[in-house]
A and B are shown apart, each in its own frame.
Chain A
Amino acid sequence: GAGVSQSPSNKVTEKGKDVELRCDPISGHTALYWYRQRLGQGLEFLIYFQGNSAPDKSGLPSDRFSAERTGESVSTLTIQRTQQEDSAVYLCASSPFYGYTFGSGTRLTVV
């Protein structure tokens, strides 16, 4: 596709359930980022993948959060045992070298 695709666009889940968020980057983009944006806040870095290098996981807020990426394709962000404070928009971005294209995000609501 022409842009970064994220799914689902909206997710409502019960506290304690696991959720999986998906990001399809632009073809050929070697770098992929996940950010979290709480309501009215800026963007909080979560994790960064660059090609086949070890990912930079330093932004993951707890061990309930994990992410995977297969090669230079799809990435999934998994949140286990969701808590209400996990409610936010989760944004994915991809980049060929410099310049980042963001997806439309997944709005996660934990009830």
Chain B
Amino acid sequence: ELKVEQNPLFLSMQEGKNYTIYCNYSTTSDRLYWYRQDPGKSLESLFVLLSNGAVKQEGRLMASLDTKARLSTLHITAAVHDLSATYFCAVQETSGSRLTFGEGTQLTVNP
């Protein structure tokens, strides 16, 4: 059974600082997703990573995938308050199979 672990689960950081959220998974996979969820809202797709070494960037967020290490990272650069949300990674073992989600990382960016 595929297991997906995120850490940290809770992250409080100051504006302007950098930090990385880690997502480890237990079996081979060729698809990894990052989502953002604001309180009381649904999930917003951030990144889709489809191959080893894939790196994608959007604004202050950058995601990468290392399929050999079974690890994805979500790096936050110069955090701002608007980034406060819960971030989920999700892994799909093969094309057409279910998404398995991590527990989520609740990020709070303080002024």
Using CB atoms and an 8 Å cutoff, list the residues of chain A in contact with chain B. Answer: 31, 33, 35, 41-43, 45, 48, 50, 56, 59, 91, 93, 97-105
Contact = CB atoms under 8 A, between A and B. Distances in A.
| Interface majority SS (helix, strand, loop, mixed), chain A | strand
26 contacts: A31-B96, A41-B103, A42-B88, A42-B102, A42-B104, A43-B99, A45-B98, A45-B99, A48-B98, A59-B98, A91-B42, A93-B43, A98-B31, A98-B48, A98-B50, A98-B92, A98-B95, A99-B33, A99-B45, A99-B48, A100-B99, A101-B45, A102-B35, A102-B42, A104-B42, A105-B42
Contacts of A99: 33, 45, 48
Most buried by A among B43, B99, B103: B43
A104 B95 contact: no
Nearest to A3: B42
Interface in B66-110: 88, 90, 92, 95-96, 98-104
Range of interface residues on B (Cβ < 8 Å): 20 to 34
B43 to A, nearest CB: 4
B88 to A, nearest CB: 7
Nearest to B104: A42
Contact of A43 (B45, B48, B101): B101
B108 to A, nearest CB: 14
Contacts of B102: 42
B54 to A, nearest CB: 13
B88 A56 contact: no
Given A43-B88, A50-B96, A99-B45, 8 more contacts: A31-B96, A42-B103, A43-B90, A43-B99, A45-B99, A100-B33, A102-B35, A103-B42
